[in-house]
Amino acid sequence: MDLFKRKRLRRSTLKESTNWEDVGRMQFEFLLREGLQPHHHLLDIGCGSFRGGRFVIDYLQEGHYFGIDREAQHLEAGMKHVLKPANLTAKKPNIRVVELSAEPKDFREMLGHSRFDYIWIHAVFDHIPPDCIQRSLYDLAKVLGIPGRMYATFFLNPHGPEFREPIIHPRNGSLKGAVVTYPDREYWHHTIEFFEGVVSGIPGLKLDACLYDYPHPLGLRVLRLVNE
């Protein structure tokens, strides 16, 4: 892992400053608490260099992990320095280069799989604008199983839609390494009302809860969306 840490490519201030090992394990332990089982099929959105994906790949049955990321170089580095040394390529993870955008996407065709029990979107919605989020949730809902669960982390604006100021998010309670989020640019923050409005226009999808106890060092919240 030390070799990989020296070589891995820069993605963003948020991703490079967060402890790689701990946050990866945190993602996996959260999914276990939410009921993930080895026979489930999971789609990991923005999987990057498999910070959390390596634990999930090891846990799931062969071929049941699907990961996408917009950066081929991060996927390649993760395959070379994370998955191969741990012999996790033997689990036959399905990896694709896909960038979320406001354009429609047929994830079923792209991934060669029709329904996922779990869709995991970690540290992605703080990087993409609202129209991309709306389109992505609409398209992802089409490949979410029935029943199925989708989770997405985001920076919360707790002050309501009319609040248009930046928000400081301390890191582990300290301003050292804090992140500033904005309503109109990266790093983005969003209100619960925004997601309620988006989900209301997606057939079958329901915003089940906003989880405030996710122990991310920057205080990311987690949306739990269900398809019933």
Give the DSSP letter of residue 4.
H
E strand or H helix that includes residue 6: helix 2-7
Q: Could you tell me the two tokens for 21?
A: 């090992």
Q: 88 has which bridge partners?
A: none
Q: What is the pLDDT of residue 180?
A: 98
Question: Is 17 a residue whose pLDDT tops 80?
Answer: no
Q: Give the predicted TM-score (pTM) of the model.
A: 0.91
Q: What is the pLDDT of residue 182?
A: 98
pLDDT digits (tens, 9 = 90+) for 198-224: 999 999 999 999 999 999 999 999 999
Instruction: Say how far apart CA 76 and CA 203 lie, in whole Å.
Output: 36
Please choose, from the candidates 62, 81, 66, the residue with its C-alpha nearest in 3D space to the C-alpha of residue 9: 81
Instruction: Say how far apart CA 187 and CA 135 lie, in whole Å.
Output: 19
pLDDT digits (tens, 9 = 90+) for 78-106: 999 999 999 999 999 999 999 999 999 99
Delineate the domains of the chain, giving CATH numbers in brackets.
Answer: 2-104+121-165+185-218 (3.40.50.150)
Question: Is 10 a residue whose pLDDT tops 60?
Answer: no
Contacts of 172 (CB under 8 A, 6+ apart): 217
